[in-house]
Structures are given as C-alpha cells and as structure tokens.
Structure 1
Amino acid sequence: MESRLSSSTSILGNHSDLLALLAFKDGITQDPLHIMKSWNHTLHFCKWTGVICNPANQRVTLLNLDSQRLVGSLSPSIGNLTFLSAINLQNNSFHGEIPQEIGRLTYLQDISMGFNSIGGNLPSNLSHCTNLRTLNLSYNNISGHIPDQLSSLSKIHYFGLAVNSLKGSIPPWIGNFSSLFTLSLGRNSFQGSIPDDLGRLCRLGKFQVSGNDLSGEIPSSLYNISSIYFFSVSVNRLQGSFPIDVGLNLPNLQIFYVDLNNFTGSIPMSLSNATELEEIDFGGNGMTGPVPMNLGSLKHLIKLSFQNNSLGSGQSSDLNFLIFLNNCTNLQALSLAGNLLGGELRDSIGNLSSLITELVLGSNLIHGSIPAGIGNLASLTLLGMEANLFSGSIPATLGKLKKLQKLYLNDNRLSGLIPSSLGNLTQLIGVFMEKNNLEGNIPASLGNCQNLLELDFSYNKLNGTIPKEV
C-alpha cells in the first residue's frame, strides 16, 4: 500500500513538472536556435534540451538554458518545479518580472539570470529559498529596493545585482552573510554610506559597489578582510584617505579601483606589499604627494592610473619612480595625466614593458626634450604628452611606433621640423600637434596614413602648402 502511494505521488510530481515546463515553453516568444523543438511529447521531459532530472525519481533538478538567444517572460508555473536546485537563464532576452512563486522552490541553490531584460522589483518571496548560494541577477532592469526579507538568505555565497536600477541604501544585514564571497552591487543608484557591518564578511573576495551615489568614508573594517582580491568603489562620492597599511592588510589584492571619487591624502606605499596586484586606478580624486617608488616591485602589474589628481610638486625628482616601473614587465597601460609632475623624461622611458599600449602623460609640468627612447615602445597605440613644457624637436624615432593610433603632442614648446618618419605610422587615426613652434612643411609622407581622421597642426610656424598626398 505504502509503495503504491509513493509511486502515485511520484507520477503526480512528474506530471506537475511536465505541466510547469510546458507553461515555461509557452512564455517563450522567440527561439531562433530552436531549443524548444525537443520540448514535445515524443520525448520524456528529462531528455529535453536544458532539462536535467534526478534519475531516481525523474524530477527536474536543473534548468540550464544559458546563452540560447531566447526571448520571453517567466511563467509563474516555475514555482511548481518542486525539486529544482538550479536555474540558469543567463545571457538571453527574458523580460517581465521574476514571479513571486519562485519562493516555493525551497531546494533552490542557484539562480543565474544575469544579462537579460528582467524588470520589476526583487521578489520578497525569495526569502523562502533559504538554501540559496548563488543569486546572480546582474545586467537587468530590476528596480526598487533590496527587500529586507532577503536577510534570511544566510547561506548565500554570490550576491550579484550589478547593473540594474536599484535604489535606496545598501542593507547592513548583508554583513550577516558569513559565507559571502562575491558582493556585486555596481552601477545602480544606491545612496548613503557603505555599512560598517560589511566588515564582518570574513570570506569576502570580490567587493564591487562602483557606479552608484555612495558617500561618506569607506569603513575601516573593510580594509581588514584579508581575503579580498577585487576592490572596486569607482564612480561614487566617497571621501577620506587610505590607511597607510592597506597593502599589508589586503595582501591578496589583484584589482584596486578607487577612481572618480573625492579621496585625498597620499598613495599608500604599502600597496607594494600586495604582490598580486594587476590593476590600480586612483584617477579623478584629490590625491597629493609623490608617486611611491616601490610600485616597481609589482611584477603582475598590468594597469596603473593616477590621472587627474594633484600628485607631484613640479620638482625634478617627481618622475624618479618611472625608472623602477621598468621592472613591471606586464605593464600595458600607464596614465599619469592631469597632475603636477615636473622634471624631465629620461631616455630610460623606452625600457618600460614591451607590452605597453597606452602611455598618457598629458597636462603636467614635464620639461626638456622628448626622449628618443620612446620609439622602443613598439606596442603603443596611444601616446599622450600634450599640455606640458616639452621643448626641442620631435624625435624621428616616433616613426618606429607602427601600432600607434593616436599621438598627442599639442600645447608644448616643440620646435623644428615634423619628422617625415611619421609616415610609417599607417595605423594613425589622430595626430595633434597644435600650439607649438614647429617649422617647415607638413611631410608628404603622412599621405601613407590612410586611416587618419583628425590632423591638427594649427598655431605653429609651418609654411608651404598642404601636400596633395595628405
């Protein structure tokens, strides 16, 4: 009697799963890859594309339709897939709201619906999915506040709501998620301060709150979470200075983005202790003082940006740190524009990484001649040296930069001829040399630069005619 009862319960369960999947299919309005073609009565639903069942009871446990170009809305019947543990609908074009019925799925551990067009509010009934470990709804159109009911998701490991239209403050109770590894809330409209409670997230690896409207100072407790490898607070209204021991307390840092805020104080020398650092961006703040000499010890460094601060003091020693960056053999982008850096550029600049594609030094107080050694940086696509005090002639060695696309030498004190070797730079899109003291003719060799869209030689002492080749 008992086995007959369990058997009939299983059949009923199988039937409810079948009906729920068919209702899901009915919500699909476009299916260019014909994924739903297999979803028919000639095949058992456990064999349908994207459907995985428990072999013991033939109940649906996984729905995986990642990147299938599906368009449609989510049927409330999804809440009838009682044994569902994971649903992956990432990178499709689902729209409408997430049905509240999803809260019935108490076995659910993974919701991945990023990169869709899902709107509405976050369903408060998600609070019943207390086994949830991954909630990834990034890159959608979800609005409203994060419901306080979600504080019950105590097993959450990945909390991803970036690039939506969420507002209000970041809930302090997120600090109770003791297993949290990824907190991704960037590019929303969150306001207020970063809660001090987040400092209790002792397993946190990725902290991403950039692109909001957050204010106040970063809680000091956050700087003590030694497991953090990705730290991004860019594009907010945060202020204050950085602890001098930040690199000692965050030894696993790989990414450190604090750009476009209102931070002040000096660049912490201890960053060199975070030996795994790959990308550092302090751009667009009010940082002062020298650039630390010891950043050259960061062997994995790929990007270093200090642009648009108040670093340096117009002194000859301001650029001494550059020679140590020659040790960063993986460096691809160096941006120091918009500071108060003085001194002369040494020929050793040509010993920077052979991988460097962007060298941006504009709007500083650098004087002297442009070193010929820059011609050794064969991977450069962007060279920005505008609005400085450079004098002397333009070195012919710039003609060795075969990958260069944009060259900014405007607003300096350069004199002499425009080197004909620039005609070797066939990838050039823009050349800006206005407001100098350049003489002679425009070289006909520039006619080789077939990709040129912008060419500005105004406010110089050039003569002759524009070559017909140009």
Structure 2
Amino acid sequence: MVSTCPKRPGNPGVLILLTLPLLLLGAIKINCATLPDNSTDVLWLQAFRHEIISDPSGWFSSWNSSANHCLWPGVRCSRAHLGRVVALQLVGLNLAGQISSSIGNLTFLRTLNLSTNGFSGRLPPLNHLQKLQVLDLSVNQLQDSIPDAITNCSSLRIVDLAKNILVGEIPPKLSLLYNLSHLRLSRNKLTGIIPPTLGNITSIQRLVLSYNNLTGSIPDELGKLTNMRNVALGGNRLSGGFPRCLFNLSKSLQVLALESNMLSKQLPPNIGDALPNLQELFLNTNVFEGRIPASLGNVSGLGRIQLEINNLTGEIPSSLGKLSNMYVLNLRNNNLEAIDIQSWEFFSALTNCTSLEWLSLAENQLHGAIPNTIGNLSSILDYLYLGGNELSGTVPPSIGNLRNLTFLGLGNNNLTGTLEEWIGKLIKLKHLNLQMNSFIGPLSSFLGQLTHLIDLDLGNNKFEGPIPSNIGNLQQLSTLNLSSNNIQGDIPTQLGSITSLTHLDLSSNKLTGRIS
C-alpha cells in the first residue's frame, strides 16, 4: 500500500510530501499516523480537487471537511468497506485543470467518469486501480500517448478516451485487458496500425477507433472477435479490400462503419448472406468499385445503407426493396446507371420500403423520366435528392404525395414543365433546389405557401413573369437564387420584409425597381 505519511529528511525544518505533492499548498495539515486506512480516500479526493483550476458551476463548493466525503456530489462509497470510494462521476461540468495523480490511489475505485469537461495534460497513472471497471475520460483535452500501464487495470470492461488529443500508437498490450467489452478511442490523433493483438480480446463487443490517422490494412485477427456488435474504423487512412475476416462475426455484428478510408476493390457479392444481422452499414467515401451486392436485400434488419462517394457501377439492385426496415439509403456520387425501364425497376421496388426517411441517388448516371411511382415512396420520406443526373421530362405530379418532405433536390438535370401541379402540396419543405434545369412558365403563386422554406434555388431555368408578391410569406428564408431566368417586372417590396435573408441572387433577369 502506498504510504500517505510525509517523511523528514536530515533537516527537520523542511517537510517534503512524497505522495501528495503540494497538497493544498500547505493549507491542509494531516497527521497520517492517526488516520485509519478507510479515511485516506478523502485525502486523495482533496488532492484531486486542488488540481481543478476552473469550476464554473461551483460543483466543489460542498466538497469540504464538514461533510462526509461519501456524501459529496459525484462521489459514491462502498457499503462493505466504510469510507472507500468506488465511483467518481463528474460529467459535463466544464471543469478544467489536470487530473491529479492522486486518483491512482483510490484503490477501491470501480468507475471513473470525468467525460465532457476540459481536463488537459497526460492521462493519470492508474496502474494501482485493479478494481476499476469503467474508465470514461472522453470529450476532454487530454494529450500525450496512451500508457502501457493502463493494462494493469485488469478488471476494465469499458475504456472510453474518445475526443481528446491523444497521440502515438494504440498500445498492443491493450490485448491484456481480457474483460474489455467496449474500447472507444475515436477522434484523437492516434497513428500507426490497428494492433493485430486486439484480436485476443475475445470479450469485446464494441471497437471504435474512428477518425484518427491509422494506416495499413484491417487485421485478419479481428475476425476472432465473435462477440463483436459494433466495428467503427471510419475516418482513417486504412487501405486494402473489404475485410472478409469480419464474416466470422456473422452472428453478432450489427454495425459496420468503415467510411472515409482508402478501401478499394469490389464489395463481396455475398456480404448480405455473410452478415445477416447487420443493422447499419457505412462504406461511404472510399474507392470501392463494381456493383452493389444484391445480397444486401437479404439482410432483413438492415436500416441504414451508406455507399456514397465511391466508384460503384451498374444498376441499383431491386432486391433493396425487400428492406422494410431501411430508413436511410444514400448512394450519391457513384457511377450507377438507369437507362431503360428495366434498370429503373429498383425505383418501384423502393416503394415497399415503408420506413424510408432519407433517399439520395444524386450525382450518378440516371437517365430518362422520373418514374410515376415516385409518389408511392414512403409517406414519411423526409429527404429526397436526385440532383446531378440526366433526368428529363416533367416531374410527375404524384410527387405531391410526399407531404413530409423537408428537402427536395432535383437540380442539375434536364427536367422541364411547370411547378403548379405539385409544388404547393409540399408545405413542409425547408430546402428546395431545382437549379440548372429547363423548368418553364411563371413562378408559381404556390411558393408563398411554403412558409418553412430556408433555402430556395430556382436559378438557371426558364421561368418567366413576375416574382409573386406572396414570396414575402417566406419569413424563414435565408438563401434565394432566382438568377438566369426570364423573370420580369418590379421586385416586390415584400421581399425586403424577409429579415432572415442572407443570400439573394436575382441577376441575369429583366427585373426593375429596387428592394426596399
């Protein structure tokens, strides 16, 4: 046990505190010889408090000697061992300072949660905390590397150091934490490879290493983690093909997030059959090529598919229409094709996805008319983005059935016709982008009914006639682009009443008057 008593050197007039350096700068005088073992924890808490340089909420005002330390806010003591601290939880208090090394002397501590504060400096030495099960220091400003000594905390089940400024490599010795179920190191500045030794932590269920600077391939050893439910490795510089080793996790894996890396080659055709329990799949912003595996349609519980910003080609498989639980489908910015009736069959199939809230097929190679079945898409669809394709013809009036839309993007296509038949029905719209098409006719008076609009972009079309005076009803409007049309007449005075407007472009028209 670490001694709490000061020792005197040869000069009896000089007192050196070996274990509690500068404890309260001499303001607290302690006769350690008279303190029982179960009272020393209060000293370590006081030393911890002394390192806090900012306490804006006054949390520590009640941390004083007049009250039992087991009653201090954020402190919980053992029932079996009088006075011994088993939990210290100070979350979201905007505390600042360094985490005192005295924390490492709370040898009965099981939970240490100091997340969402402003602690800086190094991780404190915790190697004596062999009872510690939960370590959460996330969302702080901790620096330096992760010490190997953390592996002495052999009872750890949860380690969360996310959203700090930690550097260096992930210690391979973390594999010694055999009881670990959650390891979260995301959003730091960690470098190097993913240690293959992590494959030895067979109890782990959640591995989150995303948004660091990790390199290399995803190690095959992760395939040994058959209890894994969540793998999040996105936002790094990982390379290689899709990690087929994860197919060994077929019974457990629910969330797979590999987005924003440099992964390449084709997706395995049997991915859906090999991972039947997937609920969320993030493979976006990589360099994957080839077709979207039709087997994804066999994953009945799949709710979210994000494959945007890759080099995927071919047709969109109609089998995705079997995913009745799917609420997000994002295939934006690929080279996916639809050139005839057969290749558009997927769109009709998606009408079976009654949970769909977000659909983005923008920036692909979709040709021809928008299918009339667009109006049969999910009644709860909130976001629909078909911009940046080669769509032509008129917009089916049935689109007006999608009355819960808040975002509609049809820009950068070859669409024609007027808006009157459908635009006024989409009264929940906040963002409407129809730019770079060939829409004709007067600006619909129905625009004034879209009172929730924040962004309205109708630029580079063939609209004509005046700006409707009821555009003044759009009091939440921030961006308005009507440029490069054939709009005529006076600028309505009502436009000047929209105080939220920050971006206005009426150029390249035939307008007169002024905004007052």
**What letter corresponds to residue 412 of structure 1 in structure 2?**
N
- Aligned with 1:351 (options 376, 392, 398): 376
Which one of 175, 179, 183 corresponds to residue 155 of structure 1? 179
CA distance in 1, matches of 2:462, 2:148: 67
How far the C-alpha of 1:358 sits from its partner, in A, is 0.9
- The aligned counterpart of 2:308 is 283
1:321-360 map, 5 Å: 321-360=346-385
- Partner residue of 2:269? 244
Say which SS state the counterpart of residue 165 (structure 2) adopts. coil
The partner residue of 2:406 within 381, 394, 397 is 381
Preserved contact between residue 172 and residue 198 of structure 2 (Cα < 8 Å):
no
State how far apart, in whole Å, the 1-side matches of 2:317 and 2:420 are: 29
Question: SS in structure 1 opposite 2:143?
Answer: coil
Q: 1:452 Cα shift?
A: 2.3
Q: Does 1:184 align with 2:213?
A: no
Aligned match for 1:89, one of 99, 114, 125: 114
- The equivalent of 2:103 in structure 1 is 78
Q: Deviations over 1:196-233 (max 9, x none)?
A: 11111111100001111111113211133111111101
Q: How far 1:69 moved relative to its partner?
A: 3.1
Letter in structure 2 aligned against 1:325: L
Assess, with a 3 A threshold, how the Cα gap between structure 1 residues 85 and 453 changes in structure 2: closer, same or farther.
closer
Q: Report the equivalent of 2:253.
A: 228
Provide the rounded CA distance (Å) in 2 between the counterparts of 1:18 and 1:453: 56
Q: Is the contact made by 2:174 and 2:198 (CA closer than 8 Å) also made in structure 1?
A: no
CA separation in 1, counterparts of 2:62 and 2:480?
58
1:68 aligns to 2:93 (yes or no): yes
Conservation of the 8 A alpha-carbon contact between 1:181 and 1:206: yes
Q: Secondary structure at the match of 2:141?
A: coil
Decide which moves more: 36-45 or 382-391. 36-45
Stretch deviating more after TM superposition (126-135 or 308-317): 308-317
Q: For residues 274 and 291 of structure 1, what CA distance do their matches in structure 2 show?
A: 16
Question: Which shows bigger deviation, 50-59 or 155-164?
Answer: 50-59
Q: Give the one of 23, 31, 34 matched to 2:47.
A: 23
* Structure with the greater alpha carbon radius of gyration: 2
Q: Which residue of 1 aligns with 2:198?
A: 174
SS of aligned partner of 1:450: coil
- SS of residue in 1 equivalent to 2:127: helix
Identity of aligned residues (%): 39
Shift of 1:34: 2.8
Q: Which residue of 2 aligns with 1:262?
A: 287
Question: Which is worse superposed, 398-407 or 182-191?
Answer: 398-407
Secondary structure of 1:366's counterpart equals strand
- The separation in 2 between residues aligned to 1:11 and 1:294, in whole angstroms, is 71
Match of 1:42 in 2: 66
Give the structure 2 partner of residue 4 of structure 1.
Answer: none
- The 3-state SS of whatever aligns with 2:398 is helix
Q: 1:413 aligns with which of 423, 428, 438?
A: 438
Q: Is the 8 A contact 1:315 1:341 kept in 2?
A: no
* TM-score, L = length of structure 1: 0.94
Code of the aligned partner of 1:163: R
Secondary structure at the aligned position of 2:112 is classed as strand
In the alignment, the residues of structure 2 paired with residue 158 and residue 13 of structure 1 have an alpha-carbon distance, to the nearest angstrom, of 33
Separation of aligned partners in 2, 1:45 and 1:460: 73
Match of 2:24 in 1: none
In the other structure, the counterpart of 2:397 is 372
CA–CA distance in 1 between the matches of 2:261 and 2:158?
26
Matched, 1:199 2:223: yes
Deviates more, 1:18-27 or 1:308-317: 308-317
Structure 1 gap ranges (5+): 1-7
Q: Which runs of 4+ in 1 moved over 4 A?
A: 8-11
> Which letter maps to 2:352?
N
- 2:154 corresponds in structure 1 to 130
Q: Which moved more, 1:294-303 or 1:167-176?
A: 294-303
Q: CA 1:79–1:182 in 2, change beyond 3 Å: closer, same or farther?
A: same
Instruction: Report the alpha carbon displacement of residue 16 of structure 1 after superposing the two structures with TM.
Output: 2.7
* TM-fit CA distance, 1:10: 12
Query: Secondary structure in 2 aligned to 1:342?
Result: strand
Find the counterpart in structure 1 of residue 167 from structure 2.
Answer: 143
Q: Cα offset for 1:451?
A: 2.4
Return the offset for 1:468. 2.8
User: In the TM superposition, what is the alpha-carbon distance from 1:11 to its structure 2 partner?
Assistant: 5.7
Residue 445 of structure 1, CA deviation:
2.3
Q: Counterpart of 1:311? A: 336
Aligned residue for 1:462, secondary structure, equals strand
**8 Å Cα contact 1:250/1:274 also seen in 2:** yes
- Aligned 8 A contact 1:259 1:284 in 2: yes
Q: CA deviation at 1:386?
A: 0.9
Q: How far does residue 466 in structure 1 lie from its aligned partner after superposition?
A: 2.6
State the Cα RMSD in Å.
Answer: 1.9
SS in 1 for 2:146: coil
Where do 5+ consecutive residues of structure 2 fail to align?
Answer: 1-31, 496-516
The answer as to 2:445 corresponding to 1:430 is no
CA distance 1:235–1:418, shift in 2 (3 Å)? same
Cα deviation, 1:96-121, whole Å, max 9, x if unaligned, reads: 1112x211111111101112222221
Q: 1:3 is matched with which residue?
A: none
Aligned residue for 1:102, secondary structure, equals coil
Secondary structure in 2 matching 1:431: strand
Amino acid aligned to 1:150: L
3-state DSSP class of the match of 1:104?
coil
> How many corresponding residue pairs?
462
Q: CA deviation at 1:287?
A: 0.6
Give the C-alpha shift of residue 314 in structure 1: 3.0
Q: Per-residue CA shift, 1:114-167, capped at 9, x if unaligned? A: 122222211221021122111111111111111233231122110100111111
The superposition leaves residues 274-306 of structure 1 with CA deviations (integer Å, 9 ceiling, x where unpaired) of 111111100000011111112122122111100
Q: Answer yes or no: is the 8 Å Cα contact 2:224–2:248 preserved in 1.
A: no
Equivalent residue, structure 2, for 1:209: 233
Whole-angstrom CA distance in 1 between matches of 2:482 and 2:81: 77
**1:462 is matched with which residue?**
487
Q: Is the 8 A contact 1:63 1:88 kept in 2?
A: yes
**Quick one: distance in 1 between partners of 2:371 and 2:243?**
41
Conserved in 1, the CA contact under 8 Å of 2:86 and 2:109?
yes
Q: 1:357-405, CA deviations, whole angstroms, 9 ceiling, x for partnerless residues?
A: 2100001111111111112212211110011121222243211212212
Instruction: Verify the 8 A CA contact 1:316 1:343 in the aligned structure 2.
Output: no
Change (3 A) 1:221 1:85: same
Between 271-280 and 430-439, report the one with greater CA deviation: 430-439
Residue from 298, 307, 331 that aligns with 1:273: 298
**Alpha-carbon distance in 2 for matches of 1:352, 1:73:** 54
| Structure 1 partner of 2:512 | none
CA distance in 1, matches of 2:118, 2:352: 46
Counterparts of 1:174 and 1:108 in 2: how far apart (Å)? Answer: 20
Distance between the aligned counterparts of 2:423 and 2:129, measured in 1?
64
Distance 1:274 1:389 in 2: 36
Shift in CA distance, 142/176, structure 1 to aligned 2, threshold 3 Å = same
Q: Secondary structure at the match of 2:369?
A: coil
